Amino acid sequence: MMGAELKWVEGGKFSMGSNDHYRDEAPVRSVTVDGFWIESHPVTNTQFGAFVDDTGHVTVAEQHPEPALYPDASPGDLVPGSLVFTMTGGPVDLRDYHSWWRWTHGATWRYPTGPGSDIDGLNDHPVTHVAYEDAAAYARWAGRSLATEAEWEMAARGGLDSAEFTWGNDDTQETSPRANTWQGRFPYENTELDGWTRTSPVGSYQPNGYGLYDMAGNVWEWTDDWYEDRSTSPSEPSCCAPVNPRGGTQLGSLDVRQAGTPIPRKVLKGGSHLCTIQYCFRYRPAARLPQMVDTSSSHMGFRCVKRTD
């Protein structure tokens, strides 16, 4: 099966999380992860296309949503589609993400901004508009898996334990970008200092210490862990660093603020081309984001791992 080049990540102990930014990244704790192989870059449109050609896989974005799961949705929205970032015409309230996200009928991995778009010239860009089950299906086809959150974060750090970014502690994204993130005033001005408004070809920036590309920015990446807010989760004292820790439970991952839509959530890692210190300062290894497993968007992708057991 087709897959990106694998890079070896030596097992060991590292400091996971951060106490300095978003609440659910804390507390910093020592964890131990066994060695594993991880793909050097996110899965590309070419690679995902080979999977679809071989299996006939139909992504979640190409399917009609189940009405019973979305009781508050209007019938007109219960059609195949996905979320597409749309730049605003000027300043907006950054507390309301609806200002820049549009549910777009017909947006899929083949049509990343909706009908009329295509992936011509984007063969080496990360595939987008893939929900969790799409990423997991590709991983099975490739004989690989999705990473746990701990595996993904250890790999992203590239051997720089406790560093703020994949490259060290200096944030140069507004002056000399080392990843595809947002420069300018979000979400209505992008100066393209890094050369891109949306996704960029994989490997456009220097790799981290493990030879891995795009572990910061470009696209968010699915992991296999259920989301839990560690800052509110009870913890038990331990004399030893947890070994190969996993996330929470499917039930515990539900968003209590959306009781009418009981869709479980997985952890996304790495940030995306939309991340900025103004709004989403998450192009850091410790950063994490809960995402409902049925959701796809123009800034979410994935990569795979291969374990030795």
At 76-132, the pLDDT tens digits run 888 999 999 999 999 999 999 999 999 999 999 999 999 999 999 999 999 999 999
Q: Is 291 helix (H, G, I), strand (E, B) or coil?
A: strand
Does the reported pTM lie above 0.75? Answer: yes
* Segments of the chain scoring below 50 in pLDDT: 1
DSSP code of 242?
P
**Rounded Cα–Cα distance for residues 145 and 21 (Å):** 29
Residue 45 token pair: 């449109």
CA distance 13 to 31: 5
Overall domain count for the chain: 1
pLDDT tens, residue by residue, 148-164 = 999 999 999 999 999 99
DSSP, collapsed to helix, strand or coil, labels residue 253 as helix
pLDDT of residue 71: 81
Which residue, 235, 271, 260, 233, is CA-closest to 249?
233
Closest alpha carbon to 299 in 57, 93, 15, 83: 83
pLDDT the model gives residue 195: 95
- Residue 184 confidence (pLDDT): 97
Domain CATH for 190: 3.90.1580.10
Q: Tell me which residue range forms the domain holding 232.
A: 1-309
pLDDT value, residue 1: 47
Q: Give residue-wise pLDDT tens across range 276-292.
A: 999 999 999 999 999 99
Tokens of 104: 């777009």
Tokens 């893939």 belong to residue: 130
